């Protein structure tokens, strides 16, 4: 434990918020809509237990089921790369804490978010209800298959790393649609890539190195 003011809860909320936004900007999150959305979504409720007091720092933190809530600047950069519009239907694979979905919900018309842990979906849904977020549908399922019943999607965001973009997700993207995801063959070397679906085929662009938990096929047991 340290006795710095922010960890004692003494730091005024406005200052905490300013530091949070400054960290985002200094890491390259410059899109005004994304910054405004991230200013509005309080990361606090999405981080429970031991690490709650670090919710406003720009770092990834452990959540239930051995998973991780992403670093805020990475959430910002991925959201920015996705280029979400107010009429878009977005699919997120990897609900985790629900924080990324909450940020997307302020930018899109509707967000579907899928996780293989029922517990994470349940806990995230409780937070969405508490915060009265009306446009997120959280579903327990294997995200490598996408969500065929709701497809196609304008935007798809995957927040767990696969070796390659899963075929079902590529096929559930609208023409002109964009998918952002981490890909890589190991836990340590991954790249964030942006895929655009063209009239014929796909365009791939490498954005930056990242580190995510793996995308695992099949449902989890809890
Ligand atoms: N976006 C989250 C962080 C996600 S961590 C947030 O804002 O907090 C990655 C998540 O991907 C984990 O919760 C993990 O359970 C989930 N995941 C991994 N493989 C999956 C799969 N096949 N289908 C759905 N979710 C998966």
Question: What pLDDT digit, counting tens, does each position of 85-130 carry?
Answer: 999 999 999 999 999 999 999 999 999 999 999 999 999 999 999 9
70 is catalytic: yes
Atom of ligand 1 nearest to the CA of 94: 11
Q: Measuring CA to CA, which residue among 4, 186, 219, 198 is closest to residue 119? A: 219
* Pocket perturbation via mutation, ligand 1, pick of 96, 158, 181 by most ligand atoms within 8 A of CB: 96
Predicted confidence (pLDDT) at residue 2 exceeds the cutoff of 50:
no
The reported pLDDT for the residue numbered 3 is 46
Q: Measuring CA to CA, which residue among 213, 175, 193, 4 is closest to residue 95? A: 213
Give the end-to-end CA distance of the chain in Å, rounded to a whole number.
32
Q: Measuring CA to CA, which residue among 166, 144, 128 is closest to residue 93? A: 144
Q: Measuring CA to CA, which residue among 33, 220, 36, 46 is closest to residue 144? A: 220
CA distance 98 to 21: 20
At 107, list the tokens: 């930018």
Domain annotation for the chain: domains and CATH numbers = 5-210 (3.40.50.150)
* Pocket perturbation via mutation, ligand 1, pick of 95, 131, 136, 161 by most ligand atoms within 8 A of CB: 95
- Distance, C-alpha 55 to centroid of its chain: 15
Tens digit of each residue's pLDDT (9 = 90 or more) over 200-210: 999 999 999 99
Q: DSSP 3-state helix, strand, coil percentages of the chain (rounded to 5)?
A: 35, 25, 40
Q: Measuring CA to CA, which residue among 185, 150, 186, 188 is closest to residue 169? A: 150
**pTM more than 0.85:** yes
Predicted confidence (pLDDT) at residue 222 exceeds the cutoff of 90:
no
Atom of ligand 1 nearest to the CA of 101: 7
Ligand 1 pocket list (CB less than 6 A): 67-70, 93-94, 96-97, 99-100, 114-117, 120, 142-144, 159-160, 213, 215-217
Looking at every residue in the chain, the average pLDDT score rounds to 94
The reported pLDDT for the residue numbered 11 is 80
């Amino acid at each position: 434990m340290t006795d710095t003011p922010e960890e004692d809860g003494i730091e005024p909320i406005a200052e905490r918020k300013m530091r949070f936004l400054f960290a985002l900007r200094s890491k390259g999150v410059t899109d005004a809509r994304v910054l405004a959305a991230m200013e509005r979504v309080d990361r606090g409720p999405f981080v429970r237990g031991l690490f709650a007091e670090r919710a406003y720092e720009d770092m990834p933190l452990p959540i239930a089921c051995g998973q991780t809530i992403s670093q805020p600047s990475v959430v910002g950069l991925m959201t920015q790369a996705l280029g979400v519009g107010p009429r878009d239907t977005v699919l997120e694979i990897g609900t985790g804490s629900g924080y990324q979905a909450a940020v997307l919900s302020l930018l899109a018309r509707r967000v579907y978010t899928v996780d293989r842990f029922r517990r994470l979906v349940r806990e995230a849904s409780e937070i969405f209800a508490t915060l009265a977020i009306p446009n997120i549908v959280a579903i327990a399922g294997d995200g490598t298959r996408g969500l065929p019943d709701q497809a196609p999607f304008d935007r798809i965001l995957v927040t767990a790393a696969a070796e390659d973009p899963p075929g079902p997700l590529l096929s559930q993207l609208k023409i002109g649609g964009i998918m952002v995801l981490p890909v890589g063959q190991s836990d340590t070397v991954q790249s964030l890539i942006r895929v655009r679906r063209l009239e014929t085929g796909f365009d791939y662009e490498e954005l930056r190195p990242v580190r995510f938990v793996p995308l695992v096929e099949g449902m989890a047991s809890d």
